[in-house]
Structure 1
Amino acid sequence: MRIEYLEELKGKKNLLAFSHGTDSTALFYALLELCEFDLCLVNYQTRINSNNEEQSAIKLAKTYNKKIFTKKVNLDNNNFESNARKYRYDFFDELMQDYDNLIVAHNLNDRFEWFLMQITKGAGLCNLLGFNGIDTRKNYKIIRPLINTSKDKIMLYLNENSYEYFQDESNFNTKYKRNEIRLNYANDFVKHYANGIRNTLKYLEFDKSKICKDSLVYKGIYFCKDENSLDKAIKKLGFVSSSKQKLELKNQLNKNNEAELYFRTDCVCVCFYKGFFMVFLKAITKLSKEQKDAYRLAKVPKNLRFFLALNNIKLNELINLTKNLKSTHNNY
């Protein structure tokens, strides 16, 4: 079973996102002799085996002398996947203050499954691929060593070595679109055409890097040259927007060049100003009369005014920054 990005993991402080399912269990054993790492697990308590999986993971960590961080949570069934991801990454962000890399067990099937899901939504190139082998989030890297390994290879590795793992029965419920695509299309396709899919995704990733430029961040504001970068900037703030929210965002921006997206109690603001889409967390503060007058004369979008004031970002500072970005990043 092939392990990618080992050079990024050796000599670093690594944390493996563990569920004791097939993928993370295979990755656990594959990495044992290759690099140092600890474990973290979120127990959503939604299935019969949830607590058994947690206890087995704790026992496994103890057997191999590794730290494990666990957390139990009960989430509302409404928009469960989005809420679970938000909770999971809040937990990861807290732990990653003491680590360099978060290791995630996404595999080739997961990536192709995402690809197919995006096609059904009518996505463009910049949103087709979803995650990369290495992504940067806040103060750490997310590394996916199995991104080019098929599910078949993972299962073969587990079964040949008789490693114990747990099956998430919810993965077989086709009422969820992700599962329908995985079980009816993605898995069989990867089984027959893994090499071609792997190469195609690699070529698309290269093309994407040339066409879809990443956002630049300054004091909490993500600057995006076009709308294709907005989704990734929102992800860097720790949120995943649904198809409905993406449409809502587009409609709001078309109306007045400013939008708000709510994720439970958090609000992400997007505005278009000085040639850039700017993405930031909503801020609430009082503005002085001088600030109100200056912002109004400069036609600063309303939500951006409060963010600038709260974070002590001078208006000239912002305007000069946008000028510099335009002049030094002609290909941005």
Structure 2
Amino acid sequence: MPKFLYLLSIIFISSIYANMFSILDSYRKDGIRPIEKELDRYLATTEYWKKKISNSDVRFGWYERAVYLLILDTNKKNTAVYKYQNKPKLLFNMSIVLGSNGVGKKTEGDHRTPIGIYRITQKKEHLLDIYGPLAFVTNYPNSIDRTLSKDGSGIWIHGFPPNKPNKSFTKGCIATPNINILKLDKTIDYRNTLVIISSKKPIESTHKEIAGIMAFIYKWRYDWKYNFIDEYLSLYSKDLISTNGDFEHFSRHKHSVFSRKQKKIIRLNNFQVTRYPNTLNKKIWRVSMDEYYKASSYVYKGKKIIYLLQNRDGFKIWREL
């Protein structure tokens, strides 16, 4: 081994040992809590997240586990079907038709196709001929739609009626020739699929943006876990809508909770971070995660979705639902 490489390896090993000694000494004197707090602080740095996602292709967002993406460009009337597993793999494209009045659904019966991100909640078969051989049911209106007073229902991805192989519009659903809907059924796991509907080609995200979002999320977790109420609330938009009401109601509720100074366990994983298409001319991000929360008075295990607004000053939590 060349002498300089040998010296570098010695320095590297010595550095690891010195850091480990410092950690062990801190643990011996003060227990695990100070070390845990320092590690939690480091999780809230962009440096950590840049390294974490460095080998991921994040142009359509970042997904911690494998997921199928249906990326709909309503302008081109095309759906690109991807499987994302550290990077997006294009499986196939399929032509689509949309609502007779275009996109931007707001109300029941407006014959428009919604813009946004949706999950597939159900597969339906043995339907009326107008839906073709099968249909996938989306969760329109989703939680963010409801905060914007959008209504209506029954937005499906379905096939064509057998007597109309050249169907040109729908009442708001997304329809595709039957050969495509059957291929889609064989290709995806609909329970693990996001439907991303945009009026144009999605704006690609960057490593810098994703690292910034993840550092923000873990800063939010840090302030939450260690009961830093002022710092925690500063991460929220004054236009917040949450399961605990608007910002004023949310703030009162959180002041009450944080005042108890309870020790908390907060674990977050299975992240999905996606730029959210919208008609508000805002830069919105959808962040979905599995949350485990445990305090002496409350335990929760389930899905959490928050929507971030991005501006020149960074990110704010706009919706927590």
Larger Rg belongs to: 2
Whose helix fraction is larger, Structure 1's or Structure 2's?
1
Same fold (TM over 0.5): no
User: Which structure carries more relative contact order (alpha carbon 8 Å, separation 6+)?
Assistant: 2
TM range (shorter): under 0.3
Q: Which has the higher strand share?
A: 2
